């Protein structure tokens, strides 16, 4: 074989195929549906081959979650934020809700599942490691400077707003809310409004 033009070690290729297959399984069957055997079978390899590319199942799930955060971050970047800070915050909220509605399983993995290597409060927030938290903090800070919000600990508010949103969506995705998506969105808007009214000066 004179085969000179060999593929230059397509190591990332299979790793990518694995991630894609896992992603599809996640979307369809949820976190618990992402089993090593199913992923391997979807890719067409043996389960143990997965371990050449990912340390273990948690490692694979972490990569999936990272992809989710990247996509969410991308969506937030497309936001053209302007107008009153209150409206800006609601826009951010809507991006989160859209994401949760579009890909509930991914949202579940990202926020509602215990995972190693997740961000910690407050250090990982203040260090600017979380783009979504950064965006939120920027809007809040700006709102405080312009007098729309009472001066307070920005990071605490970022964290607790995230907690409120996470709690609401967790309950919704967990099937504990008898509302259709748009009803629930309206409810979240009211809830957010109540909260914002509290921090407005």
Partner DNA sequence: CGAAGAAGTATACAGTGTAAACATGACAAC
Partner DNA sequence: GTTGTCATGTTTACACTGTATACTTCTTCG
> Segment 134-163, which members bind DNA (CB under 7 A)?
none
Query: 38 or 91, CB closer to DNA?
Result: 38
- The answer to the question of residue 89 lying near a copy of itself (CB under 8 A) is no
* Whole-angstrom distance, CA of residue 110 vs CA of residue 162: 13
Q: Roughly how many angstroms between the first and final C-alpha of the chain, as a whole number?
A: 77
* Whole-angstrom distance, CA of residue 133 vs CA of residue 121: 11
Which one of 1, 77, 80, 176 is in contact with DNA (CB under 7 A)?
Answer: 1
Query: 19 or 188, CB closer to a copy of itself?
Result: 188
Query: 60 or 199, CB closer to a copy of itself?
Result: 199
3-class SS at 176?
coil
Give whole-number Cα distances, 96 to 6, 106, 136, in Å: 44, 12, 12
Which one of 38, 91, 119, 189 is in contact with DNA (CB under 7 A)?
Answer: 38
Is the Cβ–Cβ distance between 105 and 26 less than 8 Å?
Answer: yes
Q: Which residues bind DNA (CB under 7 A)?
A: 1, 3, 6-9, 11, 14, 34-38, 40, 45-49, 51-53, 56-58
């Amino acid at each position: 074989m004179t085969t000179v033009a060999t593929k230059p070690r397509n190591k990332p290729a299979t790793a990518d195929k694995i991630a894609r297959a896992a992603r599809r399984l996640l979307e369809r069957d949820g976190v618990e549906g992402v089993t090593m055997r199913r992923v391997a079978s979807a890719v067409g390899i043996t389960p143990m081959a997965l371990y050449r590319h990912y340390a273990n199942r948690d490692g694979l799930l972490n990569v999936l979650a990272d992809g989710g955060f990247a996509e969410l971050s991308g969506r937030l970047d497309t936001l053209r934020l302007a107008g009153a800070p209150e409206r800006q915050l609601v826009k951010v909220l809507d991006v989160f809700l859209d994401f949760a509605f579009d890909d509930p399983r991914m949202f579940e993995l990202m926020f509602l599942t215990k995972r190693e290597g997740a961000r910690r409060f407050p250090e990982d927030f203040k260090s600017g490691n979380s783009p979504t938290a950064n965006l939120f903090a920027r809007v809040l800070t700006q709102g405080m400077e312009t007098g729309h919000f009472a001066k307070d600990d920005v990071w605490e508010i970022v964290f607790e707003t995230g907690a409120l949103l996470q709690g609401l969506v967790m309950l919704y995705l967990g099937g504990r809310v008898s509302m259709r998506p748009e009803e629930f969105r309206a409810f979240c808007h009211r809830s957010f409004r109540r909260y914002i009214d509290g921090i407005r000066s």
